[in-house]
Structure 1
Amino acid sequence: EPDHSGSIPALLERNPRIKIVCSRGGKTSVARHCPGGYNLQIVKTGDSLSLGKRNLRFFEAQMLHWPDTMFSYCPEEKILFSTDAFGQHYAHSSHFADEVDDCELWAEAIKYFANILTPFCGQIIKKINEYAALGWPFEMICPSHGMIWRKNPNRIVEKYLEWSSGRAEASVVVVYDSIWKGTERMAKAICRGIEAEGMPFKLFYTGVADLNDVMTEVLKAKGFLVGCPTLNNNIMPSLAPYLEEMRGLRFLNKIGAAFGTYGWSGEGVKRLEEALEKATVKVVQPGIKILFKPNDEDLKSCEQFGRNFAKQVRSSCG
């Protein structure tokens, strides 16, 4: 991946005799990103490379998160160099996880996982178990992004297993857009219903929400509600990035439903439900749609919609 290997052409220009050590999958990447002649050595799981006083052992970790991903392990120092796995998009003047704010660190770690590694949950569990079977103990994990894990580095490994399991909190994420405040009023009424059932929720308006933050909350929560007015017989374009991102990330074991206002034909809710199904979110109750501006009775119906959905979430979480 170029963010790890982008300097290879410059290094080869300085010293064409440099040997590039990579996985089988890495051979294709190197050839495409760094065209030209070079000295290439292909390694696989269990192979080792002497660096003099220290050695490196290699472990192929395909799809964590690229096909060419490979861990390197230094037995003398008990350090695991994990490339993208266990990282964060987090810059700090300190280098170590135990030197930064713990809440900030874990918020960045789960955001990184949710937005990058979620599609590969099954592979993550498989590869962690394969690595454990090798018996290569580590006292430090050095990812290519973010903080180095040196105090109890198994914490992040355990979190990856948890996040990959598909287990989620009994909570709800609500994402909406609105034109004339009608769908916004629906969203807030639905949230009042969720709250009345004693269930936590997060409400996001697409006009100001950050896509990565929303996906992080979707990973955590069991329930997902989405709403918008019907526009041109369809959903509002502002919702499309969220639903397409969810489709690509393939979250596990989510349930959902849709809501919205309409003025004429009212296909928006149906289109939202179709998008949820494509994103592997199980639609568990009929959507609710309201003509133009919701009145007091409509808002009561929205509150009941929220209550019913909260009960579905609680039941699904066991």
Structure 2
Amino acid sequence: MKTIVKNNVSWVGYIDWELETFHGDEYSILNGSSQNAYLIQEEKTVLVDTVWAPHRSEFIENLKKEINLQDIDIIVANHGEADHSGALSELMKEIPNVPIYCTANAVKSLEGQYGKNGWNFNVVKTGDSVDVGNGKKLVFVEMMMLHWPDSMATYLTEDNILFSNDAFGQHLAVEELFNDKADPCLLEKEAMKYYANILNPFSPFVSKKIKEIVDLGLSIDIIAPCHGAIWRNKPMQIVEKYVQWAEEYQEDQLTIVYDTMWEGTAKIAHRIAAAAREACPDTVVKVFNCAKADKNEIMTEVFKSRAIAVGSPTVGNDILTSVAGWTHFLKSLKFKNKKAAAFGCYGWSGESVKLLQGRLSEAGFEVVNASVRAQWNPDEEDLAKTKTLVEELLK
């Protein structure tokens, strides 16, 4: 079923309430999501993106109810990733000669995934345009590394709609489609989670690309991303958020992340939280066991934090695999301008704190000297060291 976005532009995507994970199992979906595709019906009919392969048949059947597929003049592939292109190969069996407008890297992506089928690719770069009739044009803007090398956005003149693909989206099912119909707190939370877990490593590109879009002088009335709510009410609010988030973002928050074997490291984690509450009552403090809590939710909290403390006991001359995997993920997200400290218990060899300090430093954090390293079960003397650790983290 299509829904009018503005004038002759409709949403023809798929709302996925049952989706639980994304990028394999790398990203948690807690509130559903959507794969947004759009239909422009001017003198030329344009399809902007498709949906994920599991929904391809439903997508094409729904599209057939709205238009004759033979009337599609142009397909825009803003990004070749499977959640946007999964229905494309099935669709092209019906309309094999329709031109596909995309970047040069998107050609590589699409042919790499679906084979060399002789599709009619029209390679575009920033500033290129195509007339769709009635005085309107599509203007293409390369969005390299937001979040793949093949990404681009497409702007529809006169209607002033930016089809932004993965930029400015969020994994959130909004049946009513638009941001003014969504829960604003949940919308911002999911938008931040999406940025922190997917786009943060590319923050330097975000800042540069937003400036480039601003310099193009485009008047933007609607931002239509590929996932989640369409921004029609004050659409530049999400752009302003991206500007903030891309600049080594932090709030007054301390996030404590740990795993434990026999609860000793857990005791230290919770004493750090208590010490922080006492020393800095206005600082938000959150504690997570990374073996039990959702890793993407934790990373969103790390993104918000000015400091973190990470703990693991020593096991096999190393740290727990749950913490090791989490710190590997932490490094990949390339957070900047944040402090970190390490803590943990041990019975015999006691390497965990030093190993954690090294991992945190490699992940780009400023590691403070203070730590809490306790043999066996931490006693009051060990736990008293949390005060110094908090002072160095939050001073």
Q: State the TM-score, normalized to the length of structure 2.
A: 0.77
Instruction: Report the CA distance between 1:63 and its aligned residue.
Output: 0.7
User: Is residue 348 of structure 2 the alignment partner of residue 268 of structure 1?
Assistant: no
User: Is residue 91 of structure 2 the alignment partner of residue 7 of structure 1?
Assistant: no
- In structure 2, the residue matched to 1:47 is 128
Matches within 5 A, 1:161-200: 161-198=243-280, 199-200=283-284
- Residue 83 of structure 2 aligns with an amino acid whose one-letter code is D
Matches within 5 A, 1:5-154: 5-35=85-115, 36-53=117-134, 54-154=136-236
Q: 1:209 to 1:118 in 2, by over 3 A?
A: same
Contact 2:371–2:386, Cα closer than 8 Å, also in 1: no
Instruction: Report the CA distance between 1:87 and its aligned residue.
Output: 0.2
For structure 2, the 5+ residue unaligned runs are 1-80
Secondary structure of 2:314's counterpart equals: coil
Contact 2:370–2:388, Cα closer than 8 Å, also in 1: no
CA distance in 1, matches of 2:251, 2:231: 26
Instruction: Report the CA distance between 1:219 and its aligned residue.
Output: 0.8
Deviations 1:149-200 (A, max 9, x none): 0111110000000000003112211001111111111111111111111222
- Residue 255 of structure 1 aligns with an amino acid whose one-letter code is K
Deviations 1:53-78 (A, max 9, x none): 33211011101111011110001211
CA distance in 1, matches of 2:313, 2:181: 47
- Residue 69 of structure 1 aligns with an amino acid whose one-letter code is S
CA distance in 1, matches of 2:221, 2:186: 23
Find the partner of 1:278 among 362, 374, 386: 362
For structure 1, the 5+ residue unaligned runs are 312-318
Instruction: Report the CA distance between 1:85 and its aligned residue.
Output: 0.1
Sequence identity, in percent?
A: 42
Secondary structure of 1:32's counterpart equals: helix
CA distance in 2, matches of 1:2, 1:305: 45
Deviations 1:211-259 (A, max 9, x none): 0001101111110110010010000001122211111110111110100
Contact 1:193–1:305, Cα closer than 8 Å, also in 2: no
Task: Report which of the two has the higher share of helix.
Answer: 1
- In structure 1, the residue matched to 2:72 is none
- Residue 38 of structure 1 aligns with an amino acid whose one-letter code is W
Contact 1:192–1:306, Cα closer than 8 Å, also in 2: no
CA distance in 1, matches of 2:359, 2:386: 21
CA distance in 2, matches of 1:233, 1:121: 36
CA distance in 1, matches of 2:351, 2:154: 52
- In structure 2, the residue matched to 1:315 is none
CA distance in 1, matches of 2:197, 2:145: 14
- In structure 2, the residue matched to 1:220 is 304
User: Is residue 367 of structure 2 the alignment partner of residue 293 of structure 1?
Assistant: no
Contact 1:87–1:144, Cα closer than 8 Å, also in 2: yes
Instruction: Report the CA distance between 1:83 and its aligned residue.
Output: 0.2
User: Is residue 326 of structure 2 the alignment partner of residue 242 of structure 1?
Assistant: yes
Contact 2:370–2:389, Cα closer than 8 Å, also in 1: no
* Higher mean C-alpha deviation, range 102-111 or range 10-19: 10-19
CA distance in 2, matches of 1:78, 1:223: 41
Instruction: Report the CA distance between 1:102 and its aligned residue.
Output: 0.7
Q: State the TM-score, normalized to the length of structure 1.
A: 0.95
CA distance in 2, matches of 1:264, 1:220: 36
- Residue 100 of structure 2 aligns with an amino acid whose one-letter code is I
Secondary structure of 2:287's counterpart equals: strand
- In structure 1, the residue matched to 2:8 is none
- Residue 90 of structure 1 aligns with an amino acid whose one-letter code is L
Secondary structure of 1:159's counterpart equals: helix
* Higher mean C-alpha deviation, range 292-301 or range 102-111: 292-301
Instruction: Report the CA distance between 1:207 and its aligned residue.
Output: 3.1
Q: How many residues align?
A: 311
* Higher mean C-alpha deviation, range 1-10 or range 101-110: 1-10
Deviations 1:18-54 (A, max 9, x none): 2111012212112212212111101111111122333
